[in-house]
Structure formats: structure tokens, C-alpha cells
Copies of this chain bind each other. A is one copy, B any other.
Amino acid sequence: MDPKTSTGRLAGLSCPLPANDEETIQMAHGGGGRLTQRLLESVFLPAFDNPALALQHDGAFLDVRAGRMAVSTDSFVISPIFFPGGDIGSLAVHGTVNDLAMCGARPIALTAGFILEEGLPMEALRRIVGSMRAAAAGVGVSIVTGDTKVVDRGKGDGVYINTTGLGMVPDGIRISPDAARPGDRILISGTIADHGIAIMSVREGLQFETAVESDSAPLADLVAGLLERAGGGVHVLRDPTRGGVASVLCEIAGASRVGIRIEEGLVPVREQVRGACEILGLDPLYVANEGKCIAIVAPEHADAALEAMRRHSLGAQAAIIGSVVDEHHGRVVQKSRIGGLRIVERLSGEPLPRIC
């Protein structure tokens, strides 16, 4: 998909002209009556086809085994809704599946809550729901229950989606943001800042020789492979979404009461993304990712962990970018390409709103 097409679609969404009443979302689609039922039957049920959902109960039933369950929730409000490399539908599935993966959990079920704006073209909704179906199928997880609300024109932005995920954590895995220890190595599963730059390039109308695409992708398999090879040695997992790698490392340094030191020269960034960051005045370290993970791993497991990441197609460019240190507790320090040290501060402003 090229950015221009996406921009065109966005323009269509932000000021929709209802060609036909049946072709756009109306308030009555959220009223619980005939039109709600028709929307369910024509859009949601065929796409998310599974026995739990087909029952159309107030909830779904799952037979669970005893153990440690991870639960994660996320609302997606990204603008534009369609972007190079994905759309709000695939993002809503990947985002929550990835949050579960960062808990060390394998996903077992997703829920989906839609807030639709009156006037949303039905065709856009179908496309988004189709993306969710494809993304969920790619991970092997079902959307077991859902909800649809419609808000008045001008009280939404096309569509907002909440997904909540349930997953089971294998025995022996204890991932926690406060578990980083001095000496641990810091791994990143690939190039950073792709998602944020893909979104910004659409918003700002930037043209590149080849389009920068969002890295939106499910990390469940990559993490499963990582845990298999380096299980007990993996102390922390986080996906650097809003606020980017910098914000996540700052949070981990704070939660674990350790220092973190990374080297700029070791952090993988695509050449085009680096160029776009320069044009836009952004530090790639603060730009959002949607298909990358940071792993903080005991030193004796670091090589195995890196190898496990690189073996996966989404981790081919994985790298060790630094380590946890027993100084400047709570702070992240970056060694620049020319050897200087700088403190990586938490973001105080908001360079990239509505990025996820």
C-alpha cells in the first residue's frame, strides 16, 4: 500500500459523504435492534467465525487449565486508520498479542470492542475487520467475544478498537519489569522507529524512494523461540511502542532500580528511517515500534537469546545494544557514535500523538 492511497482514504474517513444509508455506519447500528443485528451478521460474525462468538451471548466461555494467566488490554486510536504496512485492525491484534508475549504468555483468546463513528463507510469497516481476522489467524488466536458502539458524527475518528488478550504463561517463566540485574545484556529484535516514521510520513506527506512501512507484526512466535532457548535467563521483555526504546528503557531502569547503558552505534535503524528522523527532527530512540521487542537477559544466556531471535524472520536484524549497570540507578545513558555519553531522558512532550 502506498502512503498516498492511505491519505486519500483518511480524507474520505474524516469527512464522509454517505453515498447510501446502507453503506455507512448509522447511529441505529449501535442501538441494539435490527441494524445492530444486521451489522453483526453481515460484518463481524462471518469474519471472526468461531463457536464462542456464534452463540451471541453476553460473553464467551473458555475451558482453561490451572496456571498463570496473563491479561492485557489496549485501546487503538491511531490516525490515519490505514497506513503503509497495516491498519488499525491488524495493529489492534498485534499490539495486544505482543503485550501478552511481553508477559511471556502464549495467547489463548482475544476480545474486541469497537467504537464506530456515525458515517464511517461500511467498506472501511469491512476492510479493518478483515485485517483483524487475518492477523488473528496468523497468530492462531480467536476473537471470542466483542461489542460495538456507535457515537455521533464528530465524537470519534472513524473507528477506535479495544482489544483485550488472555494468555497462559509456561511454567518456570517469570518475566517482570523489575527483574533487570546489573550485568544483564539488552537485546532488541530488529530495526527501530519503523512504525512511527511510517505513520508520520503519511501524515506529513513525505515521499521516499521506497515506502517506509510499519513493522506491525506479532511477536508471539519469536518470544516463544527465545524463551525455549534462554528461558530462565530472560528477565524482562517489553515492546517499545509509545515513547519508543528510550521510554521503555527508562521505565525498566526505574522499576528495577538499576542503570542502563546503550551504544548508539549498536542500535539498528534503517537508512531511510534515519533520514526521515533527521528531516522531522526526531530521535529514533523515542519513535514507536509495533513489531519489536527488547529483552533483558542474563549475560550467560545473551548469545543464545540473540541466536534465537535471529533465527526468526522477524528477528533477523536483532542486536545486543547495551547492558545493565550498577551505577546511575534509574537512569539510561547512551554512548554516542563519537564516544560521548548523554543521559536518555523520559519524554516530557508528545512528538507523535495517536501513534497506536
Chain A residues within CB distance 8 Å of chain B: 26-28, 30-37, 55-77, 98-100, 102-103, 105, 109, 111-115, 144-147, 149-152, 154-157, 160, 162, 164-167, 169, 176-178, 238-239, 241-243, 247, 251, 255, 288, 346-354, 356
Contact = CB atoms under 8 A, between A and B. Distances in A.
A28 B26 CA distance: 32
Given A62-B71, A71-B62, A114-B75, A347 B145 contact: no
Contacts of A103: 57-59, 61
Given A75-B149, A147-B75, A31 B64 contact: no
A75 B352 CA distance: 25
A340 to B, nearest CB: 23
A283 to B, nearest CB: 12
A111 B350 contact: no
Contacts of A169: 61
Contact of A56 (B31, B166, B177): B177
A115 B75 contact: yes
Q: For the complex, would chain A's binding face be called helix, strand, loop or mixed by DSSP majority?
A: mixed
Most chain B CB neighbours (cut-off 10 Å) among A63, A74, A238:
A74
B348 A35 contact: yes
A30 B145 contact: no
Contacts of A34: 346-348
Contacts of A166: 71, 166
Contacts of A346: 33-34, 37
Contact of A71 (B76, B145, B178): B145
A62 B58 contact: no
B60 A71 contact: yes
Given A59-B102, A111-B71, A115-B115, A347 B33 contact: yes
Contact of A32 (B150, B178, B242): B242
Nearest to A99: B58
Given A66-B66, A75-B114, A151-B157, A350 B31 contact: yes
